[in-house]
């Protein structure tokens, strides 16, 4: 193996950070390993979270309006009924006016005690710009969730001492934060939490404050790559899509310096841990393995030593992977958040059903509804999940299958994001194709054109492979979605999928043109309209 191109010297004491963290987490690791505890007590733990949230907010404007003080004297069951009677599930628009008062006016005690000093700016694919409150209690909640990441990783076999003997790189958004006349700060969530990275963790944090401030993502990736090339990177945290972009650029730079280097493992031989979330990982898996090991096959030796998926949101940290090799994400039931799950078919009802995590059914699609320790109450975040494990058989574990506003049903085909992603992964595996981002949309009938589905994808390959990819994609969709299969019969008239290849990087250029490049912004995978595909095609 060639000599690594980075500076290999590290301070002798940096390993003590990991040793200290392992000691700090010893008790938590033991508790997280007790699966019976989380299975049997899911209901009582979540009821306790709700009671505490109601208690904290009882003297706020919202608490007084909705009778929170009275709820505290009730039993858990009666409290939940009263809580649901008083507050209807709602998305951001229902809360916007209160959020404006709290953030722009610095008004205290509106939906949360005191003045909420920190606000995360976010712009989702299904709505406009949003400002999410991040209270001190939410900062604490996120901190506890972050510790759980390392606790579970330690359960997987990761040596925290070895991990923190080098640098850990965070692929976060810009750390630039603006402060108004009321002392209220607004910025990317990364910017709000990065100042909390103090000594000694600041000694292993990469890429450093100057690069972290950058908001132009192409320049930021370039700067990160230059810095990381010279460092002993042992862990990376970020979205898989941006992680892949960084990995490819680092490898490209390393090969320019030393042609004998063949893969990222040659550059970072001590790399142990990849923490990823925000986008579905399987579509990126073959390319990540190829960059990391030089081999895109899904063999264990071609993957990172340790890899863990997380489910964070600006509203709060929701779940994370707790079993190595199992993609199920354990719901974080004890970090100050209260969760409800609304059947996706009822989400637009005036009074939809809502279930706690011990009441859900496996296989049913639910929209996530959160009550947070920052002043959002029965807030619909828009994600759709399916539970794979439910109490009392085990801790509540879920997987993300899409967004409740992201679907395709132009012709009765009822496709969801997860099905598109699964079909892409199947086609990728059958053809050994290399692709990047992708999105799907309906094709409306016209002169000489039947109705159908169009998949726009970043493509590296020949026409014959693309044709084979399309055939497997179509076949897999038909095998997992009976409505699509029915509509694809000759009598129903949906044509085979249209595959439109675009150059690598086209999606990021499109997102950049919309002001949604980098950070936690994600490429939409599916829509019931053609705005996304037309935009990518025009720019690609």
Question: Please, is 349 exposed, middle or buried when counting C-beta atoms within 10 Å of its C-beta (0-12, 13-18, 19+)?
Answer: exposed
CA–CA distance, 353 with 416 (Å, rounded to integer): 21
The tokens for 59 are 């003297």
Q: What is the dihedral of CA 443, 399, 318, 133, to 10 degrees?
A: 10
Percent of the chain clearing pLDDT 70 (strictly above): 94
Percent of the chain clearing pLDDT 90 (strictly above): 71
Task: Determine the average pLDDT of the residues in 406-435.
Answer: 89
Cα end-to-end distance, the chain, whole Å: 39
Lowest-confidence pick of 6-10, 390-394, 411-415: 6-10
Superfamily of the domain at 407-539: ANL, C-terminal domain (3.30.300.30)
Q: In what order do the strands lie in the sheet with 316-321?
A: 205-206, 167-170, 233-237, 273-277, 306-313, 316-321, 329-331, 397-403, 379-389, 365-371, 338-343
CA–CA distance, 384 with 365 (Å, rounded to integer): 6
The partner residues of 309 in beta bridges, in order of sequence, read 276
Task: Determine the average pLDDT of the residues in 330-339.
Answer: 98
DSSP label of 90? B
Domain with CATH 3.30.300.30 in the chain: 407-539
pLDDT value at 9 more than 60: no
* Residue 214: C-alpha distances to residues 191, 217, 219, 220, 511 (Å): 11, 7, 8, 6, 17
DSSP label of 202? G
Q: Which tens digit of pLDDT belongs to each residue from 81-134?
A: 999 999 999 999 999 999 999 999 999 999 999 999 999 988 654 456 899 999
pLDDT value at 462 more than 80: yes
Q: Tell me, what's the pLDDT at 2? A: 43
Q: Which tens digit of pLDDT belongs to each residue from 354-408?
A: 999 999 999 999 999 999 999 999 999 999 999 999 999 999 999 998 888 888 8
CA–CA distance, 44 with 333 (Å, rounded to integer): 10
Phi/psi for 263 (5° steps) reads -155, 170
C-beta of residue 400 within 8 angstroms of C-beta of residue 311: yes
pLDDT value at 491 more than 60: no
Q: Tell me, what's the pLDDT at 7? A: 47
Q: Which tens digit of pLDDT belongs to each residue from 168-190?
A: 999 987 778 899 999 999 988 88
Report the 10 Å Cβ neighbour count for 450.
13
**113 vs 202, more confident:** 113
Task: Determine the average pLDDT of the residues in 466-484.
Answer: 93
pLDDT value at 12 more than 70: no
Q: Which tens digit of pLDDT belongs to each residue from 47-61?
A: 999 999 999 999 999
Average pLDDT, the chain: 91
Q: Tell me, what's the pLDDT at 111? A: 98
3-state SS class at 250: helix
Q: Tell me, what's the pLDDT at 468? A: 96
Lowest-confidence pick of 37-41, 71-75, 126-130, 231-235: 126-130
Find out whether the peptide bond into 392 is cis, omega within 30 degrees of 0.
yes
Label residues 382-412 b or e (16+ Cβ within 10 Å = b).
bbbbbbbbbbeebbbbbbbbbbbbbbbebbe
Task: Determine the average pLDDT of the residues in 465-471.
Answer: 95
């Amino acid at each position: 193996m060639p000599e690594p191109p980075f500076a290999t010297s590290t301070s002798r004491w940096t390993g003590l950070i990991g040793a200290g963290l392992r000691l700090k987490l010893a008790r938590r690791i033991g508790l997280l390993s007790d699966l019976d505890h989380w299975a049997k007590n899911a209901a009582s733990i979540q009821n306790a979270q709700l009671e505490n949230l109601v208690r904290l907010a009882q003297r706020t404007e919202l608490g007084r309006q909705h009778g929170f003080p009275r709820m505290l004297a009730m039993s858990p069951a009666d409290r939940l009924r009263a809580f649901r009677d008083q507050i209807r599930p709602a998305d951001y628009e229902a809360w916007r006016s209160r959020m404006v008062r709290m953030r722009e006016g610095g008004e205290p005690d509106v939906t949360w005690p005191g003045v909420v000093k920190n606000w995360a700016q976010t712009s989702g694919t299904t709505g406009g710009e949003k400002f999410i409150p991040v209270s001190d209690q939410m900062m604490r909640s996120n901190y506890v969730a972050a510790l759980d990441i390392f606790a579970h990783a330690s359960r997987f076999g990761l040596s925290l001492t070895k991990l923190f003997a080098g640098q850990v790189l965070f692929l976060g958004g810009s750390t630039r934060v603006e402060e108004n006349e009321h002392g209220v700060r607004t910025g990317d969530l990364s910017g709000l939490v990065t100042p909390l990275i103090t000594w000694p963790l600041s000694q292993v944090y990469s890429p450093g404050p100057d690069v972290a401030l950058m908001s132009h993502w192409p320049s930021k990736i370039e700067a990160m790559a230059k810095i990381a090339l010279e460092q002993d990177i042992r862990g990376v945290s970020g979205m898989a899509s941006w992680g892949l972009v960084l990995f490819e650029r680092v490898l490209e730079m390393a090969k320019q310096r030393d042609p004998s280097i063949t893969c990222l493992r040659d550059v970072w031989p001590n790399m142990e841990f990849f923490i990823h979330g925000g986008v579905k990982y399987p579509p990126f898996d073959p390319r990540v393995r190829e960059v990391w090991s030089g081999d895109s096959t899904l063999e264990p030796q071609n993957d990172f030593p340790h890899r863990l998926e997380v489910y964070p949101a600006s509203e709060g940290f929701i779940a994370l992977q707790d079993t190595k090799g199992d993609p199920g994400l354990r719901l974080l039931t004890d970090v100050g958040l209260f969760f409800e799950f609304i059947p996706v078919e009822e989400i637009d009802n005036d009074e939809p059903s809502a279930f706690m995590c011990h009441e859900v059914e496996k296989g049913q699609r639910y929209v996530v509804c959160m009550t947070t320790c920052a002043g959002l109450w029965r807030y619909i975040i828009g994600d759709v999940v399916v539970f794979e494990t439910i109490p009392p058989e085990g801790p509540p574990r879920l997987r993300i299958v899409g967004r409740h506003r992201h679907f395709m049903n132009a012709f009765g085909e009822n496709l969801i994001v997860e099905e598109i992603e699964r079909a892409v992964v199947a086609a990728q595996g059958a053809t050994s194709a290399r692709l990047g981002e992708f999105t799907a949309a309906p094709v409306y009938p016209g002169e000489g054109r039947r109705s159908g589905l169009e998949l726009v994808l970043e493509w590296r390959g020949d026409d014959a492979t693309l044709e084979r990819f399309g055939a497997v994609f179509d076949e897999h969709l038909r095998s997992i979605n009976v409505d699509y299969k029915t509509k694809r019969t000759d009598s129903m008239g949906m044509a085979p999928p249209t595959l439109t290849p675009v150059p690598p990087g086209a999606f990021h250029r499109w997102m950049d043109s919309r002001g949604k490049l980098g950070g936690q912004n994600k490429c939409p995978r599916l829509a019931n309209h053609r705005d996304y595909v037309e935009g990518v095609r025009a720019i690609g």
